[in-house]
Structure 1
Amino acid sequence: MLLVSLTIVFVIVVMALAPMASLANAVPSPIILVALLVCLIPTTIGALVPAIGIAGMDRLVQHNVLATSGRAVETAGDVDTLLLDKTDTITFGNRRAVGFYPVPGVSAEELVSAVRLSSLADETPEGRSIVELAAQRGVNEPTLEFLESRARVGSLDLLAVEFTASTRMSGLDLVEDGNRREIRKGAASAVERYVAEAGNKLPEAAAAQVQRIAESGGTPLIVADNGKALGVIELADVVKCGMRERFEQLRTMGIRTIMITGDNKVTAAAIAAEAGVDDFVAEATPEDKLAVIKREQEAGHLVAMTGDGTNDAHALAAADVGVAMNSGTPAAKEAANMVDLDSDPTKLIDIVGIGKQLLITRGSLTTFSVENDVAKYFAIVPALFAAAFPGLGLLNIMGLSSPNSAILSAVIFNALIIILVPLALKGVKYRAVTAGQALARNLLIYGVGGLRTVYWHQNHRSAHLTHSGAELI
């Protein structure tokens, strides 16, 4: 848009030069008019903006991130809301079982046995850690291979129930001699509903353990056998070092952070407070992610998020900046406009920083381009019409004496673009400061500094004119 505006100004000025010159009886030669046409073309922005976009994509490649376009990198610089998954992004994600807590009336051995069965088919790190802790508590049997062998010979019916975002539970169904046994473990709210549907009630002791674990920042899982709650599993996770400082830096940049987690509200609040995020969404489903994105966008915000699953595809496509993990599904990578080859969700913070750097670089070069074009007009117009309009001599601050010298100065201005190409490729260093701090700094450097430069130039020119006049006398 700015390039179009400058081009319109350029066309108007060039078309007006010949009529103005004819009115002043100082019509320049066709050669000079053609030279002016070439010199006044706004070249800087048109030449450097594509280079800036390509350089931004190249900097992302150096971080092992592929972007579909330079526009996606620019959008990352305008992002003011980040949606971050808790697991693997804010916390290490390697949650491990650290405790089993049976409810009154249930023995520790009975709980550990049920816990082990519920996790035999669970291949997640959490499931493996539960089986390992059960082994430490002396329960090693039965193995999944033993149960599967019995199922193959028909003495047992076995069904592994996988975790889904809708049920938020997993476990095993066993049928032996006509007796059916459903063992489930999962999020507290999900298992509580499951228990209620079976006509039972969650014991107060289990609810108290869930509250205690959640308040400490852990993740509580409830285990149930045939619709009856047996006890609680405690999973511990650790917030990554330096996350609070990084979120404080994002806050300084004017970016709001929202943590998305499937944990309950108490656990989510504890992790959010420890990490220093601005807001959180607890017990979230993929549909909740999409709803949060639409809500933020309707409020006028630009949203970035990460994802790796097929169920994240809609949210990745809806986000202004969607970063898919390379380890994710094809649907997620197709929906996103960036792909992280290292599958590191924390890179979203670095991507925003690179986008900010790109915007600042483009702004700096755009400012120079506008000043360059204005300077060319101030150099050429006074020199061209000074003889016909003596008053224009006051604008001839460069002291040019003829149209030829003015054209030569414009050519030198255009040649400066060669010097700026490395700047466009390398980028301007970005510092995370608030808008108020940036404004104060710019007013001090460019405002006061600019006035001081003009004042020095006027004094220097006045002294030069006085000295020249004294020599003539």
Structure 2
Amino acid sequence: MEDLKTTHTNHHNHSHNQEHHHEHGHAHEHHHGGKMTVVLFFVGLVMFLVGLFFHQNNGVIANVLFTGTILFSGFHIIIEGLGDTVRDSIEAKRFRPNLHLLMTLATLGAVAIGNFEEGALLILIFAAAHFLEEYVDGKSKREITNLLNMNPTEARLILADDTVKVISVDDVKVGARLQVLNGDQVPTDGVILSGRTAIDESSINGESMPKEKNVGDEVFGSTINGSGTFTMEVTKDSSETVFAKILQLVNQSQGNLSKTATFIKRMEPIYVTIALLLFPLVVLSGPYLLGWSWDLSWYRGMVFLISVSPCALAASAVPTTLSTISNLAKKGVLVKGGAFLSTLAGVKAFAFDKTGTLTNGKPVVTDYSFEDNQELIDIVVSMEKQTNHPLATAIIAKFPTSNVLDLTVENEVGKGLSAVYQGHNYRIGKPSSFMQVPEALKAEERQLAQEGKTVVFVAKDEVVVGLLALMDVPNKDAKQAIQYFQQVGIHTTMITGDAQLTGEAVAKQLGIDEVVANVMPEDKAKIAKEQQEAYGTVGMVGDGINDAPALVTSDVGIAMGDGTDVAIDVADVVLMKNDLSKLVYAHQLAKKMDRVIWQNLIFAMFVVLVLVVLNFLGKSSIALGVILHEGSTIVVILNGLRLLLTPKKFLA
């Protein structure tokens, strides 16, 4: 399993490691948290308002108050602007400025030419916009990490003498018996031993309706028990539960931004460096090219620094990405990072494992034909109830109202099940084991086999008198999902170990473009590579250990939540319920995320361009530049925040 994880990390995150390191190295750049910082900001704001009162009558007091605003409201910006630039430049062994430095220089420049009021306004609005950005980032993360508050801490352990002792969940061992009272959190994963109830599993699969649970059913840690009380046996250590794995994925997702977001973060120091290099050219062009005075040129240089500051650009992607991840988490779709959402949005082909992904993973009786209807059904069901025949469960489920007869059943290799009832010998077996088959049933068997179904014959005294056809049928969400992907131009392929006929029968029901049948587990990764060569960006959807290599090889691996731990470990996206409509929703939201990020980028660059042009035309000021520039930052943040909401036209 470790090998798979390593491969996965190398495949998906090789370039990402550098970015991730860079993000950590700059995590302090935009961190304006702490109560004291907020208090000082408001102290500065009050000083600014009082300064405006004195501005007309006493310029000295006003300027002192405006200076106080810069120091109190902007001290963290100045410290981060200067301190982080020095530290990052030493680490990188080259000049690595940040936008805080740009704002600090613009503020100091405004003060240097006597524009205390505008310098104070610049710091105030810049700080306020970044507090808002930090709040939005925090809100998106809280939307995801409020899961932590749902992590169970206590369990009611049933001791050997049947008394109950409350212990820490960390001390619960596999195999222990626990009591879960009505309204309690289920402490860990396990199986119900006695009792029945309904459990709210929304923390695991995003499903709002409680699920009925009886003896033998699985229960999951962190879910909420309803009105019933039950006892359970622990099947997983608390660190290995489904919920614990969700928390691990959440932690991963917060450090992994979208490709656009990481590109913007990487470009920030380069952008700021270019802006600082252009600054002296702007100042010098005034007197020598445009006929401005030196004072006016210096002022226009300050406005230029504010105009080209990349605040809105920096805020274009991160809040949008975090909001998208948060929205999907609430819907039961866990994404290990924004980079995988960007990839998902650009997928050109999806390869689906058949069993358990496109189908329910369990055969059901789809057709049956009996001469002596009810009595023969009673005999068949009574025979199947006494065997562990792989198709027995499906046959019993098909005829729940049958009368159970007292029969002695034998299971003969190569012949199937046989029993004697009222002097007649009855046998259930595969078609090739019978010689006397009426032509009508032969024709029906051929037709059903053509449809990819497994047929068994029922014979009375070795003469076939009926048949049953069984099939692992598509799940209810698969057809709509496949239709959606075809509508948006994504090629769909079904990969199956079944025979070509069976695979094509399922594919026909779903409308899938391509079937690759008779596939051995080790071939799935090779097929994923072939799909990449044929179509470009490929997503693989699967649930089993044998799907893991293909999940790693594909550009984005999607695991079904009911699948194996290995598949979930190596996948990039996990659907916490085996529900392909969730994948459709994730694809739609990922596409919208990309659109919103590009809207933000184009809008931010447009505002920068307008402000620079207005500045050279002499129509702008520090105050106007600050208001428009930081206003555009607030607009892009709020635009990204829309991704927290479920779009009405999307599947929920």
**Structure 1 length as normaliser, TM-score?**
0.61
Q: Quick check: 1:372–1:413 contact (8 Å CA) kept in 2?
A: yes
User: 1: CA distance between counterparts of 2:497 and 2:570?
Assistant: 23
Q: Does 1:274 align with 2:509?
A: yes
- How has the CA–CA distance of structure 1 residues 414 and 128 changed in structure 2, closer, same or farther, with 3 Å as cutoff? same
- Matched residue, 1:54: 322
Distance 1:420 1:288 in 2: 46
Describe the SS at the equivalent of 1:95: strand
SS in structure 2 at match of 1:342: coil
Q: Secondary structure at the match of 1:304?
A: strand
**2:549 is the alignment partner of 1:314:** yes
| CA spacing shift, 1:243–1:128, aligned 2, 3 Å | closer
Question: In the aligned structure 2, how far is the partner of 1:348 from the partner of 1:233?
Answer: 35
Change over 3 Å in CA distance of 1:419–1:276 after alignment to 2? same
| 1:180 alignment partner in structure 2 | none
Alpha-carbon deviations, 1:275-317, whole Å to 9, x = none? 2222222233433432221111123522222222222221122
Q: How many residues align?
A: 355
Work out whether residues 116 and 134 of structure 1, in 8 Å CA contact, stay in contact via their aligned partners in 2. no
Partner of 1:264: 499
**What corresponds to 1:65 in structure 2?**
333
Match of 2:310?
42
Structure 1 residues 358 and 292 mapped into 2: Cα distance closer, same or farther (>3 Å)? Answer: same
Pair 1:219-2:453 in alignment: yes
- Is 2:596 aligned against 1:361? yes
1:303-342 map, 5 Å: 303-342=538-577
The answer as to whether partners of 2:351 and 2:494 remain within 8 angstroms in 1 is yes
Q: Which has the higher contact order (CA 8 A, sep 6+)?
A: 1
Shift of the 313–139 alpha-carbon distance from structure 1 to 2, 3 Å rule, reads: farther
Match among 324, 339, 344 for residue 579 of structure 2: 344
Q: Is the 8 A contact 2:556 2:573 kept in 1?
A: yes
Match of 1:422 among 638, 642, 645: 638
Aligned 8 A contact 2:493 2:516 in 1? yes
Partner of 2:625: 410
Identity %: 23
- Which whole-Å CA distance do the structure 1 matches of 2:395 and 2:403 have between them? 11
SS at match of 1:328: coil
Superposed CA deviations along residues 191-237 of structure 1, whole A, max 9, x for unmatched, are x9xx9xxxxxxx9x99977652243x4422679xxxxxx99862145
Conserved? CA contact 1:56–1:358, under 8 Å: yes
Aligned to 1:120: 387
Q: Structure 1 residue 256: deviation in Å?
A: 1.4
1:238 and 1:425 map into 2 onto residues whose CA distance is: 40
Counterparts in 2 of 1:239 and 1:311: CA distance versus 1, 3 Å: closer
- In 2 relative to 1, CA 132–23 (structure 1 residues): closer, same or farther, beyond 3 Å? closer
AA aligned opposite 1:259 = M
Change (3 A) 1:98 1:382: closer
User: For the residues of structure 2 that align with 1:16 and 1:300, how far apart are their CA atoms?
Assistant: 49
Which residue pairs with 2:286 in the alignment? 21
Q: How far off is 1:325 after superposition?
A: 2.8
What is the distance in 2 between the residues matched to 1:78 and 1:133? 43
> SS of 1:79's equivalent?
coil
> 1:165 corresponds to which residue?
none
CA RMSD of aligned residues (A): 4.7
Q: Which amino acid aligns with 1:426?
A: R
Which residue of structure 1 aligns with residue 204 of structure 2? none
CA distance in 2, matches of 1:50, 1:253: 27
Matches within 5 A, 1:164-243: 211-215=446-450, 217-220=451-454, 234-236=469-471, 238-239=473-474
CA distance in structure 2 between the partners assigned to 1:285 and 1:137 by the alignment:
42
Match of 1:425, SS state, is: helix
Unaligned runs of 5+ in 1: 103-107, 148-157, 160-169, 173-183, 196-202, 224-229, 384-399, 433-473
- Cα gap change, 1:242/1:345 in structure 2, threshold over 3 Å: closer, same or farther? closer
Deviation at 1:11, TM superposition (A): 4.5
How far apart in 1 are the matches of 2:477 and 2:563? 26
Deviations 1:328-361 (A, max 9, x none): 2221111112222224344222221121111111
SS at match of 2:315: helix
